[in-house]
């Protein structure tokens, strides 16, 4: 294939304030699965850049669970749910992704999924209109009903057994402040009993110990309840034993997970803490506070946690409301690693080859090391709204956003530096050349030198839509289908030197080649024109394949090829020598491609509405 994927720099887990986010790991403790956007990500715990993206859901995904299959089975079987109530079961194998089946569990959001130990029977729960849970068997046959609650079910757990055991013991927890116990003895699965009054608020999480002997429930009332499995009663099931840790957590407890020895468990709370507990004594063994020891940070609320089984290092992974995955070990006072990224649509991409910058719909800006695949959030005061564009020059990067500000990133320290100049109108793009920063807004062009506004050009006859700069030349696209070429003088004044009106739709993206000899312009209809900068003469007008608005264009260093991305979800690499000899990646990003860049001689990066950065290898372009 001319373009092949090298690595996927995954989105962060999607989070919602006040709700738990489920994390799932495989029995060997090597992979973690979670939902974001319309995708599910199966990611290596130790190397987060080793990732598989599942994209078959057509609605926003909410949860993913890995089946507890033994390591001898050469696949990761996963069940994932979305906001429409659809549950898909699929497998990731060495030969790729294979679909098992799908079920409309109920008409509403799927909050949690649990596999029985055989990996075939599944229970899905959530916020359905006609019911709050559904049980099914991926090999066919009736499993039973999930009943007993009067409000949305937040979590479900199934008691681990040997794979050959057909009996199921399950627990569900709900906004109705109750805990329900289900069983299939006698068959099929049915409601057995309910625990009322133990929690005084929404019950948000539950987990059964790996040996099947203990159960924990947690909730918005900051309480932890312990239950023990009773083999003597009929039917067999869990009995409440005691409350644990009254007053320890100061905020809602969203999630709980067990250690592999079933003697300890870990909780995650809105009070920004992650705590390890000894189940027998009911005492706290270890506490970590994310976001510092003082002050309140909403983004650092802990809304998910998992204690991966099958590992010898005792690793614990918690999830912040911001989407950050925090790695903890008991012998460390702070997270040993934080895996960061975006969980909202990435709307802008910039870079200088080795380093990429991405900005998302919520204003978050991350920097990525292309070689390692590691992403880090830029420190300091970030944008408060959608990031529109990036530019870079001489150790600094520049970003503009819908908060109408120009922000400067100090590359060496990865922080926003200095004051953020307020723009006169909403920005459409930013470019940098020869010590000047050019910002194009819906009203005109602003020129900044050393962080200060040096000059301004009002454009009254049309609305600027895109900008690019090289040396003393500045190219501006307009909503009247024109490409205007300006030249800047020593006093920072712009003079119009040429204009091209070949396009039949408004210009949406511009890019100069590295030597400035060529200028590419993409339009709203998906067509790209390549101009010779001198005179704006057409070099080629045959780059026509996109069916949606071109959002980004970038030239390779030699100026012989260009890469483009568009809202049609596709990425194309074009040849100037043979304009018809394009290569492509179709459906590169769900919900559209918003940025492309070259990160090597035959390597490109792309990003888009799925909040993912992808690195591709390109071959076969003439």
3-state secondary structure 455-470: EEEECCCCCEEEEEEE
Report the C-alpha gap between 276 and 534 in whole angstroms: 67
CA 300 to chain centre: 17
Judge whether residue 96 has pLDDT over 90. no
Total-model pTM:
0.95
Q: Assign 140 to helix, strand or coil.
A: coil
What is the model's pLDDT at position 1? 52
pLDDT confidence band for 621 (50 / 70 / 90): confident
Judge whether residue 619 has pLDDT over 60. yes
* Rounded average pLDDT over 357-372: 96
Judge whether residue 522 has pLDDT over 90. yes
Domains located in the chain, CATH noted: 3-339 (2.130.10.10), 346-553 (2.130.10.10)
What is the model's pLDDT at position 454? 96
What is the model's pLDDT at position 88? 96
Report the candidate in 105, 106, 49, 45 with the shortest Cα–Cα distance to residue 76.
Answer: 45
pLDDT in tens, 25-77: 999 999 999 999 999 999 999 998 999 999 999 999 999 999 998 866 778 99
pLDDT confidence band for 295 (50 / 70 / 90): confident
Judge whether residue 457 has pLDDT over 80. yes
What is the model's pLDDT at position 390? 97
pLDDT in tens, 404-417: 999 999 999 999 99
Whether omega for the bond prior to residue 235 falls within 30 degrees of 0, making it cis, is: yes
Judge whether residue 164 has pLDDT over 90. no
Q: Assign 35 to helix, strand or coil.
A: strand
In percent, the amount of the chain with pLDDT more than 90 equals 89
User: What is the token pair recorded at 605?
Assistant: 């990066």
């Amino acid at each position: 294939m001319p373009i092949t994927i090298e690595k996927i720099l995954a989105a962060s887990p999607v989070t919602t304030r006040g709700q738990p986010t489920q994390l799932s790991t495989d029995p060997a403790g090597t992979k973690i699965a979670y939902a974001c956007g319309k995708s599910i990500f199966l990611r290596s715990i130790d190397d987060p850049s080793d990732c598989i993206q599942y994209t078959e859901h057509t609605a926003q995904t909410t949860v993913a669970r890995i089946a507890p299959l033994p390591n001898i089975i050469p696949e990761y079987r996963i069940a994932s749910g979305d906001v429409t109530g659809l549950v898909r079961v699929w497998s990731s194998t060495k030969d790729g992704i294979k679909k098992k089946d799908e079920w409309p569990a109920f008409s509403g959001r799927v909050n949690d999924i649990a596999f029985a130990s055989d990996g075939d029977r599944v229970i899905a729960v959530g916020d359905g209109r006609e019911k709050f849970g559904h049980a099914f068997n991926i090999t066919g046959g009736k499993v039973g009903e999930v009943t007993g609650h009067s409000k949305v079910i937040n979590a479900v757990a199934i008691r681990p057994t040997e794979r050959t055991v057909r009996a199921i013991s399950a627990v569900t927890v709900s906004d109705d402040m109750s805990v329900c116990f289900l069983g299939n003895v006698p068959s099929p699965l049915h409601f057995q009993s309910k625990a009322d009054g133990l929690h005084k608020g929404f019950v948000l999480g539950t987990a059964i110990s790996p040996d099947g002997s203990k159960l924990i429930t947690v909730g918005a009332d900051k309480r932890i309840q312990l239950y023990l499995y009773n083999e003597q009663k009929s039917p067999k099931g869990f009995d409440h034993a005691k409350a644990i840790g009254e007053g320890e957590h100061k905020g809602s407890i969203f999630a709980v997970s067990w250690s592999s020895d079933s003697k300890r468990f870990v909780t995650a709370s809105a009070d920004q803490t992650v705590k390890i507990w000894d189940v027998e004594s009911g005492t706290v063994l270890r506490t970590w506070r994310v976001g510092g020891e003082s002050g309140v940070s909403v983004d650092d609320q802990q809304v998910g946690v998992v204690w991966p089984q099958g590992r010898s290092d005792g690793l614990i992974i918690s999830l912040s409301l911001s989407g950050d995955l925090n790695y903890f070990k008991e012998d460390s006072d702070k997270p040993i690693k934080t895996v960061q990224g975006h969980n909202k649509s990435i709307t802008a991409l910039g870079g200088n080859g080795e380093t990429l910058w991405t900005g998302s719909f919520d204003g978050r800006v991350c920097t990525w090391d292309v070689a390692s695949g590691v992403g880090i959030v830029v420190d300091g005061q970030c944008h408060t709204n959608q990031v529109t564009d990036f530019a870079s020059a001489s150790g600094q990067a520049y970003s503009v956003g819908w908060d109408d500000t120009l922000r400067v990133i100090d590359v060496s320290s990865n922080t926003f530096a200095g004051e953020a100049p307020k723009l006169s109108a909403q920005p459409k793009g930013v470019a940098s050349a020869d010590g000047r920063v050019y910002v194009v807004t819906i009203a005109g062009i602003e020129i900044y030198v050393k962080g200060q506004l040096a000059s301004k050009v009002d454009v009254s006859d049309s609305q600027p839509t895109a900008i690019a700069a090289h040396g003393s030349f500045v190219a501006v696209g307009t909503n009247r289908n024109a490409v205007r070429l300006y030249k800047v003088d020593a006093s920072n004044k712009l003079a119009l030197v040429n204009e091209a009106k070949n396009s039949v739709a408004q210009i949406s993206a511009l890019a100069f080649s590295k030597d400035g000899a060529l200028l590419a312009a993409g339009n709203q209809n998906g067509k790209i024109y390549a101009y010779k900068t001198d005179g704006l003469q057409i070099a080629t007008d045959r780059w026509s394949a996109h069916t949606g608005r071109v959002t980004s264009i970038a030239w390779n260093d030699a100026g012989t090829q260009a890469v483009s991305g568009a809202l049609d979800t596709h990425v194309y690499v074009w040849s100037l020598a043979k304009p018809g000899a394009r290569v492509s990646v179709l459906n590169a990003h769900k919900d559209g491609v918003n940025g492309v860049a070259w990160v090597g001689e035959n390597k490109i990066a792309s990003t888009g509405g799925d909040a993912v950065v992808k690195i591709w290898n390109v071959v076969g372009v003439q």
